[in-house]
Structure 1
């Protein structure tokens, strides 16, 4: 055996033990999917996958092997410390404790905690929720998509801290099911998928996608399928060349009964399908799923003869957002979206002018009547808008209507849900705004492990708030239209 220990593939498939799904101790053997990853591993790797394919287990074994035999410093990051410690205990420590005694004696543990093994040769395996400082040869982030969705600040810390600890000749692996179309994981996947089959630099991400139908275990005796699934599998074959057996289709049907609308996120057939599902806790998940399914997000017909209304969320220290809405019969065509920060009203007025739409009204929230900061006698933003700004040699003035302040945000959110099915979006011009609506979600209570009954305030709030004012306006509240001019 000892003459074969120089071969890492031999070591990985012959030395290490894990527990299988039934809790039984078994020797680790790479599956076809795991071998495909091993053979094509790059300096920067993204694994978008169906659930239960064992990639976290594989990476834990790889990291332990590299620490033992090559003195690598390795780290594994999970989205909670509880999960990190569980992975360490059940995968890394279990695999080490069940190694042949001679292997353990040849490189004994120097330091052991509940989160780290440091070996006599200097190699180590550490688990945590972040990593900053020092140098790593290998870094693995488990369920990075969920970290980006639930803990965006933590995701940013990982990108700016842990990533920087790994040199270009080291290895970073991001592994996750999808979790909405926003955040680092989504962006990296989009970029990496476009680079598939191209020559990559050390800083480029290599894209790996492993679908449910590639796993031979996902099948059961065939059953009669509903017509919608018959059409679904037929479309997979005709559009994507994906053939599935009757037994695979039966497994999919049974699993879908349990997961419902989360099926495509947890067990995607193609990469785009994974990200079509909404993130957990999203307020408008069902409505946006319906809009996509009914082709209400795409190209819009030319109705340029009809007027456009704008709906604003005003930011002093953060983003200002504007939705551009055209009423077309009983529908609302959301034709454009704009967002920026650190600019004055004159900037946004120039945006209005340059877009060239024919406007009939501009709607802002109640705080447009607030006084400017830093000057007790300064005019409100609404008064400044009415006075106007010089743009391209002419005075451009906007008279805002104001949506009164409401006391129940959840009632306003329900108004958005009611109006969304009446809307159609320009997919290109409104891309950023649509992402905001998709990402607008409840705040997560990490201590209790539940969603709070209030929105999370993050980057998506501004676009979502402006759209909420649109919904409130069209629920026909009393509008505040009188403009009170300051007296001196």
Structure 2
């Protein structure tokens, strides 16, 4: 009788069930009994009804969440659970490996009580009227459990589907039920980024969560013990040593074996490293997104400390490069050329204002720093469009004291993108004054072809396009003149995180 009571108690304990009843295949392809690792257990212990999880690659959250929902369906009647994956093949794999396989390997006594009533590749319906399904869309019905997998990728590649998740799937779950949204980061755009930022703010301020607030969970690579490599054979270069020292200042103290693993993995991942294996939440969203045009070049600039505070030399003319957003954002970069170096010293964008507003903004900077203007580069259509006052943009700019240089249109935008990449090799960007411009460059990416499941060979037009186009406009229009020598010499640069140039 005591033994029977013990069994009853065990089966009434979800934590015990999750760590003892379910069989999965591990990363080596072996059948093993699932047992939560530290990150999964932390999510279980700290679970809120709405959970957003920013993660490194291969942290096991999809496996845990599927088992958590499957367990709720097996041991409770009338439960509905659903998972949204970003592609149909992913949905089928999640269902096959993380729902159907663990269910099929449950003890026969349990399956005998709750046998399956259907047999397909995306839904498991049980005899107790509970069921779990995996799809690319869940708009109908009412769910008690919802899991959105790789929502960052959905927002980046499938904006229509992301809107459907936001307006449809999230509305199928009552405010007191359980939602998991998890993903690696995909730039500073879309609903996943917005949810994470709002949840992080509440966490940092200590605000009490309501049932309608998302709780923020972050799972970095360095919490996983398997991400280590014997340190002896790996050289830690000065740039990596500086990066690890910066992390230490943020409370992330890596072992030599972890540092060695990171260096070797970064050699493989290059511009994707901080997206796939972030060390901090900020780093995850600052990293390159998939399909970004300039990811590797910005990574190289960061490693070379060319994303750094820059002086504004009053002895060197400041050039500007513009993109005119007729129905959206106008963008302006301010540039100085010093020797062979191209210094991007400031950036401004806004929308809803007439052209005089932007001229006033750059004139404010001229008055503040005491520089003079050089050439002003505008896209080819500066001479073609009229403003509400009946004048052309070109004539209006002349009247405002700006003499536009028209940059001819390239026949293929990829030629301009390649010219930009070449220019980045000799560029430095001030990360403070140009913060928004850098975000544009990081998020400027190729358009995704949903039907063919690949990137198209053309840019995706979003909020980042205007800032990136203004940058590209200078690369297409600027012809290097006789080298202008700086009025002062400048010595070593300090870190990209906010150091400045020092006079030599």
TM-score interval, smaller chain: 0.7 to 0.9
- For each residue in 1:175-200, what CA deviation from the matched residue of structure 2 results, as whole angstroms up to 9, or x when unmatched? 22333444443444444444446244
- How does the TM-score come out when normalised to structure 2? 0.81
Show the counterpart of 1:415.
419
Show the counterpart of 1:471.
475
Contact 1:236 1:243 in 2 (8 A): no
Contact 2:158 2:450 in 1 (8 A): no
Deviation at 1:142, TM superposition (A): 1.7
Q: Which runs of 4+ in 1 moved over 6 A?
A: none
Match of 1:363 among 343, 358, 377: 377
| Higher mean displacement: 352-361 or 204-213 | 352-361
Show the counterpart of 1:484.
none
Residues 188 and 335 of structure 1: CA distance in aligned 2, closer, same or farther (over 3 Å): farther
1:235 aligns with 2:213: no
Distance 2:379 2:247 in 1: 49
Residues 398 and 369 of structure 1: CA distance in aligned 2, closer, same or farther (over 3 Å): same
**1:379-390 maps to which residues of 2 (within 5 A)?**
379-386=391-398, 388=399
- For each residue in 1:406-445, what CA deviation from the matched residue of structure 2 results, as whole angstroms up to 9, or x when unmatched? 2132221122112224333332342222111111123334
Contact 1:144 1:175 in 2 (8 A): yes
Match of 1:40 among 40, 46, 63: 46
Q: Which 5+ residue runs of structure 1 have no aligned equivalent?
A: 389-395, 478-488
Distance 1:350 1:208 in 2: 44
Residues 2 and 238 of structure 1: CA distance in aligned 2, closer, same or farther (over 3 Å): closer
Residues 328 and 49 of structure 1: CA distance in aligned 2, closer, same or farther (over 3 Å): same
SS of 2:417's partner is helix
Deviation at 1:380, TM superposition (A): 3.4
Contact 2:387 2:393 in 1 (8 A): no
Contact 2:420 2:472 in 1 (8 A): yes
SS of 2:436's partner is helix
Distance 1:463 1:40 in 2: 40
- How does the TM-score come out when normalised to structure 1? 0.83
Match of 1:19 among 22, 25, 40: 25
1:201 aligns with 2:201: no
| Higher mean displacement: 156-165 or 7-16 | 156-165
Residues 205 and 335 of structure 1: CA distance in aligned 2, closer, same or farther (over 3 Å): farther
Residues 461 and 103 of structure 1: CA distance in aligned 2, closer, same or farther (over 3 Å): same
| Higher mean displacement: 219-228 or 241-250 | 241-250
Residues 257 and 354 of structure 1: CA distance in aligned 2, closer, same or farther (over 3 Å): closer
Deviation at 1:35, TM superposition (A): 0.4
Matched pairs, number: 467
Show the counterpart of 2:297.
287
Deviation at 1:31, TM superposition (A): 1.0
1:80 aligns with 2:91: no
Q: Which 5+ residue runs of structure 2 have no aligned equivalent?
A: 1-6, 482-504
Deviation at 1:137, TM superposition (A): 2.6
